[in-house]
C-alpha cells in the first residue's frame, strides 16, 4: 500500500488489539470467559481506559454490584466508531477498580458523538452508560493502578509499541506539510516555513527518543509531536488554504482519531508522571 493510501488508524486499532486487549485478559484469571470473541479476533473492540478528565486521572465508569453482575454508569471516549465492545475501567470504591468487557449493544449503552450527545462521526466518539448491566463473567478481579502491577505494566508495554508508529505518522505529516508548502505560493513565506520547521524538529526529537528507549515518557513525547503536527496541519489548511494531504489532514476526522489513541499527550504525561512518583492518579 502506498504512503498516501495508508490508513494508520486501522493499523493502530490492530496494534491495540494485539498489545493491549488480548494481553489484559490476564487480569481476568487463568481462563477468562469475557472477551473471548474479541481476543480471538471475532469482534472488534477498543480500549476505554483513556478518557480525558478535568482531574487528569483515569477515566472510569462508576460501578455498583448487583445480584446479576455489575451496574455501570458514566462516559467513556473511544478513538473510532467501529468498535462493538470496549474494555473499560470500573470504580467500585475509592480504592477498588476492576476491568470489564462492555458490549456496546447492551441496554443502557448509548453511542454519542461527544460527551454531551450528538451523532457519531468519523472521529473520536463517546459511549454513555446508564446503569448498564455487565454479567459477572465479564468482570475482572480487582486491579491495582499502581506502577509495578500487571495492569500498569501491560499499558506501558502497549505505549512502548505505539510510540514508534505515532512518531512515524508525525514525521509523514510534517513531510506532507513541507511538500505542500514548496509546491504552492507559500514557498517564500517565513511564517509558514518556520511553523513547519518547528513541528519537524519536535517529530525528529521524538523519533530519536523512541530509538533509544521506550515507556510512557517516550510515548508522551510521541503524542506531543503527533498533536503538534496535527495542529499545524489544521492551522495551515483552515487559515491559509493549504491542502497538504498526508495522514493528519483534519477534513475527514483522521487527525482527531489518531491523536485520541492512548488519551493524547496530556493523558500520557500524567501517566508518565505517575510512574515517576510526581503525581497520583485515581
What band does 280 get if pLDDT is binned at 50, 70 and 90? low
For residue 175, which phi and psi values (nearest 5 degrees)? -65, -35
More confident residue, 71 or 79: 71
Helices H / strands E in the chain, number of each: 7, 8
The answer as to CATH 2.40.110.10 being correct for domain 3-143 is: yes
What band does 2 get if pLDDT is binned at 50, 70 and 90? very low
pLDDT at 4: 45
Q: In sequence order, which residues have a C-beta less than 8 Å from that of residue 154 and are 6 or more positions away?
A: 20, 23, 24, 26
Helix (H) or strand (E) holding 161: helix 150-182
What band does 218 get if pLDDT is binned at 50, 70 and 90? very high
Percent of the chain scoring above 90 in pLDDT? 37
To which residue does cell 492551522 refer?
Answer: 235
Q: What is the pTM of this model?
A: 0.85
- Closest by Cα among 127, 103, 124, 108 to 43: 103
The residue ranges of every structural domain in the chain are 3-143, 150-275
Q: What is the pLDDT of residues 129-186, one digit of tens each?
A: 999 999 988 899 899 888 888 888 888 899 999 999 999 999 999 999 999 888 877 7
Helix (H) or strand (E) holding 13: helix 8-16
Q: What is the pLDDT of residues 11-58, one digit of tens each?
A: 888 888 888 888 887 787 655 444 555 555 566 788 898 888 777 677
Which DSSP symbol is given to 192?
A: H
What band does 3 get if pLDDT is binned at 50, 70 and 90? very low
pLDDT at 130: 96
Distance CA 6, CA 92 (A): 41
Amino acid at each position: 500500500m502506498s504512503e498516501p493510501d495508508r490508513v494508520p488508524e486501522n493499523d493502530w486499532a490492530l496494534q491495540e488489539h494485539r498489545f493491549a486487549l488480548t494481553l489484559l485478559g490476564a487480569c481476568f484469571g487463568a481462563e477468562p470467559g469475557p472477551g473471548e470473541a474479541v481476543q480471538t479476533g471475532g469482534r472488534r473492540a477498543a480500549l476505554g481506559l483513556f478518557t480525558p478528565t478535568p482531574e487528569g486521572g483515569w477515566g472510569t465508569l462508576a460501578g455498583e454490584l448487583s445480584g446479576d453482575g455489575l451496574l455501570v454508569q458514566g462516559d467513556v471516549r473511544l478513538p473510532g466508531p467501529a468498535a462493538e465492545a470496549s474494555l473499560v475501567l470500573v470504580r467500585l470504591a475509592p480504592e477498588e477498580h476492576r476491568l470489564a468487557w462492555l458490549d456496546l449493544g447492551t441496554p443502557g449503552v448509548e453511542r454519542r458523538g461527544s460527551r454531551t450527545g450528538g451523532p457519531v462521526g468519523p472521529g473520536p466518539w463517546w459511549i454513555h452508560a446508564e446503569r448498564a448491566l455487565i454479567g459477572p463473567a465479564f468482570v475482572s478481579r480487582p486491579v491495582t493502578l499502581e506502577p509495578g502491577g500487571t495492569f500498569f505494566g501491560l499499558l506501558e508495554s502497549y505505549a512502548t509499541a505505539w510510540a514508534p508508529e505515532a512518531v512515524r505518522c508525525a514525521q509523514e505529516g510534517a513531510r506532507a506539510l513541507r511538500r505542500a508548502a514548496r509546491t504552492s505560493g507559500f514557498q517564500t513565506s517565513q511564517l509558514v516555513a518556520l511553523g513547519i520547521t518547528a513541528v519537524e524538529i519536535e517529530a525528529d526529537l521524538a523519533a530519536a527518543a523512541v530509538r533509544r528507549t521506550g515507556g510512557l515518557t517516550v510515548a508522551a513525547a510521541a503524542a506531543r509531536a503527533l498533536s503538534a503536527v496535527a495542529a499545524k496541519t489544521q492551522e495551515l489548511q483552515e487559515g491559509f488554504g493549504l491542502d497538504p494531504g498526508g495522514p493528519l489532514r483534519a477534513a475527514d476526522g483522521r487527525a482527531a482519531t489518531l491523536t485520541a489513541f492512548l488519551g493524547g499527550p496530556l493523558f500520557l504525561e500524567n501517566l508518565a508522571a505517575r510512574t515517576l512518583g510526581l503525581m497520583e492518579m485515581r
